[in-house]
Amino acid sequence: MATSPKLLEFLSWAKEKGVISDIQVQDIPDKGLGFVTKRNVSRDNSIVAYIPYSILLNATKINRYAKEKAPKLEETFNALMACLDGTSLKPAVDAKFNKLKKEYESLRPIFNKWSKVEDAGGHDVVTFEHFRWADGVFWSRVLSFGSRFQTIDSIEEDLDDFHLVPFLDFANHSLTPYARWEIGAEGVELILTKDDSLEPITSDTEICISYGDKPNSELLFVHGFTLSDNPWSAISFPVPFYDDDELAKAKLIFMQYHGIKHLVSLTRKKGGAELSHDATRAMWICVLSEEDGVKFKMNHNDPSHPIDLFIGNQIIPTLDVFDNVINSMEILPVIEFRVMESVLENVEYLLSHLKQTNEQVLKMMEHGRNSRELEYVRIYREDEYKFLEFAVEDFTRKRDALMVDDVVQRFTQ
């Protein structure tokens, strides 16, 4: 298979910088570049690629480089925003776009100091398209070393969390990966995962790693692809405070102070659509009212502890105490019923909105060029549609089951 001059140049650079590899890089159908085996190999925890720390990119190195000279970038980014209309991902993409725009405007004067604007024909040295492209490249390829730092015995520089690892970022994602990456004493290693099977991995087999258990919405948002057989489904929406909720502002302050996200996340688990623990807490706070004995006390003179929550006469100092108090309340079935109703209402809205946009968007996609990117979006839209239908059915069952509960009957009559 022919190799492009740019790839040959990179592979030559990687070898010169100390990258050692027993696998090859080649084009993978519908994926782009990836790793494949050169020959039959065994899954025996052997190292098939090594990347020295000296060529990794992190914040420390970039700060050092930025003080010396400014790189020139090439425009390569064109978003397919219209194809996301009606999906739960569209608001997230819009929010990301606005956040990047603000960041770019704050950094724009600094970018233009890298070289004289006149030298760039009066245009910005780094345009917003450049900045957006760089953000996408970073988050789609970065590795978080995180807690793995404790396994590193010798690194010359400070322990940055995020690293761009040249060569290793050719590894594609798979639900059934043959390899994993690990931090070694002097570099990052790609290791064939040990398997009880005696069957070797045959020549020209793609070697993938796992990016984690991620739904298609996250894969598309961060990495730019989707999986048609992805078992992980998820949706999210803002915490749906009632318009007439006079406690909404205090609730938001309490949630922020205790680190509760302002998003409700649903995932497919154990045959049902389930709220995450954090989302359950958020929904409890959302549906509780003064009639349930809830009171907030603002501490205006103590910014380190801005708010206290009381349920009845009991102060809630921690989230564990919050969980215990809610679960011991007599009206717990009523609270759960309100949560089910509110979640169901929002999921039904998301499904209805997706239905309304589907015909128009799918028709637009049919008339567009047949591209890998459009196919990824189509897979995501179908996946979200099926999960929303499933979630509506599941939360309808849960709500109806709670509706006949004796406590719910007593409090709702």
Kindly report the CATH number that applies to the domain delimited by 234-412: 3.90.1420
Q: Which two tokens stand for residue 194?
A: 């040990």
Q: Which residues pair with 314 in a beta bridge?
A: 311
Q: What is the pLDDT of residue 368?
A: 60
pLDDT tens-digit series, residues 377-412:
889 999 999 999 999 999 999 999 999 999 999 987
pLDDT score of 79: 40
At residue 90 the predicted structure's pLDDT band, cuts being 50, 70 and 90, is: confident
Least confident of 75-84, 134-143, 171-180, 335-344: 75-84
Q: Give the model's pLDDT for residue 39.
A: 86
* CB 313 within 8 Å of CB 322: no
pLDDT digit string, tens, across residues 215-269: 999 999 889 899 999 999 999 999 999 888 999 999 999 999 999 999 999 998 7
To which residue do tokens 């406690």 refer? 247
Given the DSSP bridges, would you call strands 23-28 and 32-37 parallel, antiparallel or unpaired? antiparallel
| Confidence (pLDDT) at 342 | 97
> Architecture of domain 5-207 in CATH?
Alpha-Beta Complex (3.90)
Residue 76 has a pLDDT of: 30
Share of the chain above pLDDT 70, in %: 89
pLDDT given at position 82? 72
Say whether pLDDT at 139 is over 50: yes
According to the 3-state scheme, what is the secondary structure of 90-149?
Answer: HHHHHHHHHHHHHHHHHHHHHHHHCCCHHHHCCCCCCCHHHHHHHHHHHHHHCEECHHHH
What percent of the chain shows pLDDT beyond 90? 52
The 10s digit of each residue's pLDDT in 354-372 is 998 887 777 777 766 667 8
Does residue 193 surpass a pLDDT of 60? yes
Q: Name the DSSP class of 197.
A: -
Q: Which amino acid is at 163?
A: H
Where exactly are the structural domains of the chain? 5-207, 234-412
Sheet holding 20-21, edge to edge: 20-21, 47-52, 187-192, 179-183
Per the model's pLDDT, the better-predicted residue between 79 and 386 turns out to be: 386
- Average pLDDT estimate for 271-290: 94
Render 335-371 in DSSP notation, one character per residue. Answer: HHHHHHHHHHHHHHHHHHHHHHHHHHHHHHHHHS---
Q: What is the pLDDT of residue 126?
A: 85
Between 270 and 32, the more confident residue is 32
13 pLDDT band, cuts 50/70/90, is very high
- Which residues sit opposite 298 in a β-bridge? 307
The answer on pLDDT for 129 being more than 70 is yes
pLDDT tens sequence across 288-316: 999 999 999 999 889 899 999 999 999 99
- pLDDT over 70 at 54, yes or no: yes
Answer whether residue 277 shows pLDDT above 70: yes
**pLDDT tens sequence across 148-187:** 555 545 444 557 888 999 999 899 999 999 999 999 888 9
What does pLDDT average to over the chain?
A: 86
Q: Residue 71's pLDDT band (boundaries 50, 70, 90)?
A: very low
77 pLDDT band (50/70/90 cuts)? very low
Decide: 280 and 255 in contact? Cβ < 8 Å: no
Q: pLDDT tens digit string along 205-227?
A: 999 999 988 999 999 988 989 99
Amino acid at 187: G
Q: What is the pTM (predicted TM-score) of this model?
A: 0.77
Query: Which is it for strands 47-52 and 187-192: parallel, antiparallel or unpaired?
Result: antiparallel
